Amino acid sequence: MKARLPLLVFLAALTFGPAILPEFYVTLLNYIGLYAIVALGLVLLTGVGGLTSFGQAAFVGLGAYATSFLTTAHAVSPWLGLLAGLGVTAVVSLFLGFITLRLSGHYLPLGTIAWGISLYFLFGNVEFLGGHTGITGVPILEVFGWKLDTGREFYYLIWLVLLGAVAATQNLLDSREGRAIRALKGGSLMAESMGVDTARTKIVIFLIAALYASISGWLYAHLQRFVNPTPFGLQIGIEYLFMAVVGGAAHVWGALVGAGLITILKQWLQDWLPKIFGQSGNFEVIFFGLMLVIVLQRAREGIWPWVVRLMPAQARDQAVAAAEPLPRRDMAQPGSLLLEVKDACKEFGGLVANNNMNLTVQAGEVMALIGPNGAGKSTMFNCISGVDPVTSGEVRFLGERIDGLASREIARRGMSRTFQHVRLLPTMNVLENVAIGAHLRGDKGVMSAALRLERAEEARLLAESARQLERVGLAGHMFDEAGSLPLGQQRILEIARALCSDPCLLLLDEPAAGLRYMEKQALAELLRKLRAEGMGILLVEHDMDFVMGLADRVVVMEFGEKISEGLPEEVQNDPVVLEAYLGGVE
Amino acid sequence: MTYNHRARRALYFCAPEPTKTMDLQIALLLGQDGIVNGAIYALLALALVLVFAVTRVIFIPQGEFVAYGALTLAAFQAGKVPGTIWLLLGAGVLVALIDATIAVRGGGLRRLPRIALVNLVLPGIIAGLVFWLEPGKLPMLAQIILALAVVVPLGPMIYRLAFQPLAEATVLVLLIVSVAVHLALVGLGLLFFGAEGSRTTAFSEASFQLGTLTVNGQTLWVLGASAVLIVALALFFGRTLYGKALRATAINRVGARLMGISTTMAGKLSFTLAALIGAFSGILIAPITTIYYDTGFLIGLKGFVGAIIAGLVSYPLAAAGAILVGLLESFSSFWASAYKEVIVFTLIIPVLVWRSLTAHHVEEEE
């Protein structure tokens, strides 16, 4: 209850504020609300997803112009205007997303700069949109017969929409899709290996951010009752980004703080700066520009984390609720062929990292891939799991050719992996990190997450993650930040995450590195248990005691080629292997 | 804000146009126009590619150097003291303070004289020349050199103040900072030069008759100077040690650093070159086009479209893309002048589609 107090006070102030505040402040609050809706989209896009758009103002413009044009020229209902605006925005943003999001990160912002400028000039030059004078006489909005013809009345609509959007965004982030979104920043490769379609996820958040902007534009048009191109130029698009960054781009409430601060500051600076400089002009941009540089240099997280420190501490989650277990995949018959690599070659430019590699893994066996450093073992792993496909040759999994498939498609077929260089999301807790592994075992989408209709599925996913954490012995760290674990435990966490996808083949890249003796024993025990359940395990490892005590078969690589294969004791006595590891015996 | 003035201006000039027909004469004129603008965009595109490759900064403020260069020269010719001189002095003091603090804390007292020389004494001398020489009465070449001396040092100073503390940040953060710097510089530009546009005196009043086409001297100056600058850059990157150091940094920052190349030096050097190219471009076109405090942004962005055509990596492609932008702009100003900007900036879309379809999808973790 105490933790919720600030929120309740805030809501009460919002509810009763307009009744006592003078008109000027209500207007200011209306604008803050409108801007915060747009900034909220940028929090999702930039702060959480790591993408940026300078063109949000143009989306606001689409929403505003769509309803203004339709309601004045064709006298349709404003609600149809809203739908039309959302439709146009969706089409444009999907198109822009498709052409830029497959390219590296900076093409989206550049594309949105160009698009922001051209849309601005288009608004200003198209005759039926009123050119630079714009469209006047936009009708008053009516909600259930209640005419919203003053700022005071409109205020409630704006803030209801904003708070609804805040709640929906928060719900979304705390869900299966939300974990995928949070994995975009710094974890795309891992997320793809866990079955997340990152390209689709990027387009989804770009679309959501654009739709928020469009709704804000619709509200703006019916509040102002006229539109012209000025508020939809690139400059304002940049200001929206300022709001998100200054407020705290990684937090939904940061959007509100940023929008409030920048709007008030701008108002204030516009009054004062011309007096100081003795001439007219919008000099507040100088101030904003410098402020943003300083914020990014000194406090990249923005203001919100400071605000949080002033509030009562939130209670930490203590336990995961029990839930019905998820359905499991049918395990292959022990001894049946899971994976077959045939004549696989991998070249990087002129460098041949893998040359004519052949190996097989059966259900219910541990196959170890060993060799000196630089032998090409991790490259082989990347070829098999689709992270970096083979140049030539074949990879078959459960009888089906998988070379050329995306890594998430391979994950869907029942292969899961860990990484030599641990790939976790260090600021998310251990449980959430593991739950990314279960991504493919849920199917509820963004809408149901935003509306909290996926709670049953979410509970099952989290319960499964907790179960896997218990299995690997990390149950005590479930709610710790993943980045706070020692490296050895981070590797174990990766195994739990891989297990969460219910694989029939597990690829482990140096799982025992950084573990202490007892921990290695426990890991070996776990792998034996998995093998007994019929799982196939392909293992890269340098700890020979660990490998030889565990593996059923061993393949030895050197210089990208297989130099030996057989039972552990055969390989250990193979002179070629001894030479590779110890140098020639003359 | 930036577009309001322009929009209003555009409205006057793009009022209903009589139907026009294209003939060879007009096509040649437009082509000449397009190539001249394209040459400027090409210079800017080169600078953008250079800065991005070396520092990963997408240098949005490039255009402000164009405007600052042109307007500083214009201020000289109008007998005024350009506001940029105050910016130079202020930024110098700021850099000197920061660097001196770091030097004192780190015990590097021997670096102090150099810090003071570069950031305080040199700007002081330049300011002294501007105040006492009456630059407007000097020969053209001296005016240009003095204008460049005022504007170009701002490049490395901006790198030092805004970007160097963030050198390891993601491209995205650097881009946001870049936009922030652009805003601040445009605001300062309005403060220094006012909302009125300026033109400068042409380098030469000569004009030549080429068949039916009149080519004026400034056009040849722009083309010649651009060509010389491009060749000079090619020689710099191909033949000199510093040029090679920049290329090395562009290819592999860590590797370059291990070889003893300072990435800070590389960053400052690339910003200096970008500032030089930007300011010089502004000086080249100021006699042909009226330059406003915010003109640079759109000019710079058109250089960008050229650079994006080249994927921000290839110099010759960037130059070719920029010329294409120039031609497209000039011909669309004939057929649909109100939609000129729309057409130019929409060009980016097919380019992105093409890039997207041909991109090898390799995931880079930042």
Residue range A389-412, pLDDT digits in tens: 899 999 999 999 998 899 999 999
Whether B187 and A282 lie within 8 Å, measured CB to CB? yes
Residues A145, A259 share a domain:
yes
Q: What is the pLDDT of residue A7?
A: 86
What tens-digit pLDDT sequence spans chain B (366 residues)? Answer: 344 444 433 333 333 444 567 778 888 888 888 888 889 998 898 888 888 888 888 898 999 999 999 999 999 999 888 999 999 999 999 999 999 999 889 887 888 888 899 899 999 999 999 888 888 888 888 999 999 999 999 999 999 999 999 888 877 788 889 989 998 999 999 989 988 888 888 877 777 777 777 777 888 888 888 888 888 888 888 888 888 888 888 778 788 888 888 888 889 999 999 999 999 999 999 988 899 998 888 888 888 888 877 766 677 777 888 888 889 888 888 887 777 778 888 777 777 777 777 665 444 433
Q: Does the pLDDT of residue A74 top 80, yes or no?
A: yes
Q: Which amino acid is at B26?
A: I
| Domain-located, residue A79 | yes
Domain containing residue A56: CATH number: 1.10.3470
| Domain-located, residue A283 | yes
Q: Quick one: which of B264, B268, B269 has its CA closest to B240?
A: B269
**pLDDT 10s digits, A349-404:** 888 888 899 999 999 999 999 988 888 888 999 999 998 889 999 999 999 999 88
**pLDDT 10s digits, A549-573:** 899 999 999 888 898 899 988 888 8
Residues A240, A127 share a domain:
yes
| Domain-located, residue A3 | no
Q: Which amino acid is at B287?
A: P
- Residues of chain A neighbouring B308 (CB-CB closer than 8 A): 107, 110
Distance CA B33, CA B339 (A): 18
Query: Cβ of A286 under 8 Å from any chain B Cβ?
Result: yes
Q: Quick one: A465 exposed, middle or buried, by C-beta within 10 A (0-12, 13-18, 19+)? A: buried
**pLDDT 10s digits, A452-506:** 998 999 999 999 999 999 988 888 899 999 999 988 889 999 999 999 999 999 9
Give the domain extent around A468: 425-501
Q: Which of A52, A122, A290 sits opposite B342 (nearest CB)?
A: A122
Q: Quick one: A466 exposed, middle or buried, by C-beta within 10 A (0-12, 13-18, 19+)? A: buried
Q: What is the pLDDT of residue B13?
A: 37
Q: Quick one: which of A210, A181, A173 has its CA closest to A198?
A: A181
- Residues of chain A neighbouring B304 (CB-CB closer than 8 A): 110
Residues A583, A529 share a domain:
yes
**pLDDT 10s digits, A255-309:** 999 999 999 988 888 888 888 877 777 788 888 889 889 988 888 888 888 888 8
- CA dihedral of residues A390, A396, A397, A403 (deg, nearest 10): 30
Whether B172 and A290 lie within 8 Å, measured CB to CB? no
Q: Which of B4, B304, B341 sits opposite A118 (nearest CB)?
A: B341
| Domain-located, residue A247 | yes
| Domain-located, residue A57 | yes
User: What's chain A's average pLDDT?
Assistant: 89
Q: Does the pLDDT of residue A234 top 80, yes or no?
A: yes
Whether B348 and A114 lie within 8 Å, measured CB to CB? yes
Q: Are A303 and A247 in contact (CB under 8 A)?
A: yes
Domain containing residue A407: CATH number: 3.40.50.300
Query: Cβ of A293 under 8 Å from any chain B Cβ?
Result: yes
Whether B175 and A120 lie within 8 Å, measured CB to CB? no
Q: How confident is the model at residue A1 (pLDDT cuts 50, 70, 90)?
A: low
pTM score:
0.86
Residue B258: strand, helix, or coil: helix
Which among A479, A501, A523 is the end of a domain?
A501
Residues A127, A98 share a domain:
yes
Residues A157, A224 share a domain:
yes
Count Cβ neighbours within 10 Å for each residue of A207-221 and write b for 16 or more, e otherwise.
bbbbbbbbbbbbbbb
Distance from CA of B86 to the nearest CA of A (A): 14
Boundaries of every domain in chain B: 19-194+207-351
Q: Determine the residue among B301, B345, B347 to mutate to test chain A binding: the one whose Cβ has the most chain A Cβ atoms within 10 Å.
A: B345
Whether this model's ipTM surpasses 0.90 comes out as no
| Domain-located, residue A4 | no
Q: Quick one: A476 exposed, middle or buried, by C-beta within 10 A (0-12, 13-18, 19+)? A: exposed
User: Per the structure, how many domains does chain A have?
Assistant: 3
| Domain-located, residue A456 | yes
Q: What is the pLDDT of residue A225?
A: 92
Residues A382, A234 share a domain:
no
Q: Determine the residue among A45, A91, A104, A242 to mutate to test chain B binding: the one whose Cβ has the most chain B Cβ atoms within 10 Å.
A: A104
Distance CA B303, CA A468 (A): 54
Long-range contacts of A72-75 (CB under 8 A, 24+ apart): A72/A135, A72/A136, A72/A137, A72/A138, A72/A139, A73/A128
Output A162 or B316, whichever has higher pLDDT: A162
Q: Are A259 and A61 in contact (CB under 8 A)?
A: no
Distance CA A167, CA A263 (A): 23
Residues A431, A406 share a domain:
no
Q: Among positive and negative, which fits the CA dihedral A499, A505, A510, A512?
A: positive
Distance CA B320, CA A175 (A): 48
Whether B191 and A286 lie within 8 Å, measured CB to CB? yes
Residues A395, A302 share a domain:
no
Bridge partner residues of A351 (DSSP): A348
Q: Quick one: which of B34, B42, B32 has its CA closest to B62?
A: B42
Residues 6+ apart with CB under 8 A from B97: none
Q: Among positive and negative, which fits the CA dihedral A48, A51, A56, A59?
A: negative
Distance CA B244, CA A201 (A): 41
Q: Quick one: which of B68, B33, B37, B41 has its CA closest to B230?
A: B41
Output B341 or A586, whichever has higher pLDDT: B341
Which among A501, A533, A553 is the end of a domain?
A501
Q: What is the pLDDT of residue A540?
A: 92
Taking only residues 35 to 54 of chain A, the set having a beta carbon closer than 8 angstroms to any beta carbon of chain B reads: 46, 50-52, 54
Q: What is the pLDDT of residue B84?
A: 93
Distance CA B226, CA B35 (A): 11
Distance CA A175, CA A216 (A): 25
Residues A408, A472 share a domain:
no
Pairing between β-strand A366-370 and β-strand A553-558 as defined by DSSP bridges: parallel
| Angle separating helix axes A151-173 and A5-20, nearest 10 degrees | 160
Which among A480, A501, A522 is the end of a domain?
A501
Q: What is the pLDDT of residue B7?
A: 40
Residues A444, A298 share a domain:
no
Residues A124, A187 share a domain:
yes
Q: What is the pLDDT of residue B360?
A: 53
Q: Are A434 and A483 in contact (CB under 8 A)?
A: no
Strand ranges (E), A128-202 = 135-136, 141-143, 146-148
Query: Max Cα separation, chain B?
Result: 73
Q: Are B77 and B143 in contact (CB under 8 A)?
A: yes
Residues A262, A389 share a domain:
no
